[in-house]
Amino acid sequence: MHLRGLMLLFLLLSSQALFARPDGKALYIEKCAACHQFAGGGGIGLPLSAEKFRDYSDDYLFKTIRLGRPGRIMPAFEDMSDAQVQSIIAFLRTRTQTRERVYDTSPLNGDAGHGRVLYTRNCIACHAEDGLGAGQGTGVTLSRKRSFLVMPAAIANPGFQQAATDRMIRQIITVGRESSGMPAWGKQLSEKDIDDLVAYVRVLGKQVPKRPELAEDEPPSHVYESPYDFETTVANIKATLVGNNFRIFPDRFLEQGVTDEFEVNRKQIGVRFCNFNELYGMLKIEPRLGVVLPCRVTIMERPDGKVILVVPNLRVISRWFNNDQLVELWDHMEETFNEIIEEATL
């Protein structure tokens, strides 16, 4: 009874914390700074500069935080209250020393056909034919030269499409982005041309292919039973991996490093492998990938003598990063993994 009372008190205190006035700075540090850096210089996430914020409405920022950018690393922060999101925006306004730019929300009536011609001529090199941005990766870290700060925006991304009003897109096209090399098209195109471009940006938003879904019952790993004994299975896996152009690292027992060499279970081994060309290509796309590296097949002899192989399900893992480029690559790699296991356990 006493314990129950304490628990209720703890819950009450927690709920009071939920209703307290949110601290935008603290929330920014907790939720955003790891990717965007405290000063907004960017890292895994894009820079949050005053140059950009001058053109943003608070509604755009609110929806961007809420919706994120599906498939483009920035997650959707659905768990925060409206007040918490607004407090982050208020903090960012103070830090960038900008004021909200308020836009008329009525749509523009541009000619998307003509917009397409202009887009093909002026925008396609950076924003790509599908409007999802040319090149790989995002942010300023690892994958990019430091002198080139941002990936071109994925203007067809559903998160951007829902957050940005027509008139905000028009403003951005008009004034450009000096820091990321986007010209101020208002100096080269007429107002009508820019309205036509906005109309085509909306068309691109409707053409975005559906993101590849994962079945509800997809398991986080695959377990295979080997018809061979432990040592033969390990040897088979290594031979198959080498045959598939993977480099093999020295074996590590599952318990190695967490106990001494006499205690370690030698019938649980991780065969670790890598193809460095592919690895570095993947790190360009997803700098956080190390949390699931290196690739490994764990081979274990069970107490009943059965030998099993356990491999992570790459289709599941790739979806943890909200990064569609990685999903596409790893869906393909999952097939390679399955073929390797099948070959080694034939």
Partner 1 sequence: MIGSIRLLFLALLLFTGQALADQMLMARINMKADLAIEYLKTAVDEHGYAVAHIQKCDSGLGGFGFHSDTYRVLFIGKLAEIRDISAKHPEFVAYLPLKIVVEAEKGETVMVAVDPLTFNRYYPNDQEMQIQFQRWRNDILSIFNDVHKAAGGAVALGTHPD
**Which 68-97 residues touch partner 1, going by CB under 8 A?**
68, 75-80
Tell me which DSSP letter residue 246 carries.
P
Nearest approach in angstroms of CB 24 to partner 1 is 13
Strand, coil or helix: 312: strand
333 binds partner 1 (CB under 8 A): no
Contacting partner 1 within 234-253 (CB under 8 A)? 252
Fill in the per-residue mask, 272 to 311: x = in contact with partner 1 (CB under 8 A), - = not in contact: ----x--xx--xx--xx-xxxxx-x-x-x-x-----x-xx
Total residues in contact with partner 1, by rule CB under 8 A:
75
Which is nearer to partner 1, 61 or 198 (by Cβ)? 61
35 binds partner 1 (CB under 8 A): yes
Nearest approach in angstroms of CB 196 to partner 1 is 34
CA angle 228, 234, 240 (to 5 degrees): 100
**Cα 34 to Cα 286: distance, rounded to the nearest angstrom:** 15
Please give the distance of CA 70 from its chain centroid, rounded to a whole number.
Answer: 8
**Cα 326 to Cα 292: distance, rounded to the nearest angstrom:** 13
Which is nearer to partner 1, 38 or 99 (by Cβ)? 38
Contacting partner 1 within 202-221 (CB under 8 A)? 219-221
Strands 247-248 and 295-301: unpaired
257 binds partner 1 (CB under 8 A): yes
Nearest approach in angstroms of CB 42 to partner 1 is 7
CA angle 325, 149, 170 (to 5 degrees): 85
Cβ(185)–Cβ(122) under 8 Å?
yes
φ/ψ (deg, to 5) at 299: -115, 125
Contacting partner 1 within 259-278 (CB under 8 A)? 259, 263, 265, 268, 276
